[in-house]
Amino acid sequence: MLLHWDIFCRVIDNYGDIGVCWRLARQLAREQGQAVRLWVDDPASLRPLCPACDPALAAQFIEGVELRRWPTGFVVDRVADVVIEAFACELPAAYVAAMAVSPRPPCWINLEYLSAEAWVENCHGLASPHPSLPLVKYFFFPGFTPATGGLLREAGLPLAPPQEPAGMLEISLFCYDTAPVSGLLAALAASPRPILCHVPPGQPLAAVTAALGPADSWRLGQSRIQPLPFLPLDDYDALLRRCAINFVRGEDSFVRAQWAARPFIWQIYPQDDAAHQTKLDAFLDRYCAALPSSTAAVIRALFTAWNGGGDVAQAWPDFLARIPEITRHNANWARQLAVQPDLASNLLRFVADRA
């Protein structure tokens, strides 16, 4: 069933919001044969993830997706069959008005942020009638169980084998500038095992430079800290599969680290009144459920420390000592998640059920 989709995205968190929306738009077009327009208020934010993007253009086609700049003075040319409001970004008022007078109102979906919290299952798919217009908006929650919208996963996505790293350990460091990077660097400096740490530009490299001073690269004991250029999405995914340990942040790289099936440490996006801590605990409860309590405690200690609740340098050696076990666990975790339908497929079924 060919449908026209409009996905609206406001760039809030650097590359996370646009990364999720671009992956979804690309998958709907590539795998499902859908006609997709992606409206983004800051097209320049997509350029590092997709070098084919020209931020100067108001409209362009890339990998089967029509990319449109979301201007301040939005003019409606047509209303799509499916309208996705990514992360409650609030549609243009003119577009909502046009939806209300369409002969066949579109399926209007608010794509929510990913969460492992139990309440998500009860709220996924709920309808919210507009207070004054003949429109209904549905809440679509990504998640880790079949009762949610699932996770973004392309068909044929390779899962890295549970290979235990030998020799030099490669890690990737993608974090916010609030991460306790100095504690990690101290841990790497004390490591008895050679480590190569890849640091992308932006906040991660700025945090490392603030701790160590400007340089092309740094040597800390047996560890080498190496900047790398910003990688397009597919190349970044390959880096995650190659590295033995990945530090990730937000939502997009968090999900990709799980498909890479390698040990990872997640820095969750900080929220007011520490609401993010509840989300972090909910994920760790699910993720660690099948692990021995001692291993779960080691993982929790490093995750907690990396999110500002402990000493990273103290938690790191215990995590490093259990890398073989955690690697095997992550391979099993990825396989279990991959059995469930992916988010794009779930979206199509959701829309078809309401046609």
Give the DSSP per-residue string, 66-104.
EEEE--SS---S---SEEEEETT----HHHHHHHHTSSS
Among 6-15, 154-163, 310-319, 321-330, whose mean pLDDT is lowest?
154-163
Among 51-65, 247-261, 262-276, whose mean pLDDT is lowest?
262-276
Buried b (16+ CB within 10 A) or exposed e, 202-234: bbbbebbbebeeeeeebebeebbbebbeebebe
Domain 4-151+340-353 - what CATH class? alpha beta
pLDDT score at 157: 86
pLDDT of 163 higher than 90: no
**Are 4-151+340-353 and 169-338 the same fold in CATH?**
yes
pLDDT of 24 higher than 70: yes
pLDDT of 213 higher than 90: yes
Residue 112 falls in the annotated catalytic set: no
Q: Span 138-142, mean pLDDT?
A: 98
Question: How many Cβ atoms sit within 10 Å of the Cβ of residue 351?
Answer: 21
Q: Percentage of the chain surpassing pLDDT 70?
A: 97
Show me where the domains of the chain are located: 4-151+340-353, 169-338
- Residue 227 is inside which H or E element, if any? strand 223-227
pLDDT score at 309: 85
pLDDT band at 266 (very low <50, low <70, confident <90, very high): very high
In contact, 186 and 311? CB cutoff 8 Å = no
Q: Span 195-214, mean pLDDT?
A: 96
In contact, 160 and 190? CB cutoff 8 Å = no
Residue 164 falls in the annotated catalytic set: no
Q: Span 178-185, mean pLDDT?
A: 96
264 alpha carbon, distance to own chain's centre: 13
- Residue 127 is inside which H or E element, if any? strand 127-129
Euclidean distance between the first and final Cα of the chain, in Å?
11
Q: Span 154-173, mean pLDDT?
A: 82
pLDDT band at 16 (very low <50, low <70, confident <90, very high): confident
Burial classification of residue 341, based on how many CB atoms lie within 10 Å of its CB (0-12 exposed, 13-18 middle, 19 or more buried) = middle
Name the pairing type of β-strands 4-9 and 264-267: unpaired
pLDDT of 13 higher than 70: no
Burial classification of residue 36, based on how many CB atoms lie within 10 Å of its CB (0-12 exposed, 13-18 middle, 19 or more buried) = buried
Average pLDDT over the chain reads 94
pLDDT tens per residue across span 99-134: 999 999 999 999 999 999 999 999 999 999 999 999
Active-site residue (options: 13, 251, 252, 342): 251
pLDDT score at 107: 98
Q: Span 69-90, mean pLDDT?
A: 95
pLDDT band at 14 (very low <50, low <70, confident <90, very high): low
* Residue 133 falls in which region: left (phi positive, over 0), alpha (psi -120 to 50) or beta: beta
Active-site residue (options: 17, 66, 81, 237): 17
CATH topology of domain 169-338: Rossmann fold (3.40.50)
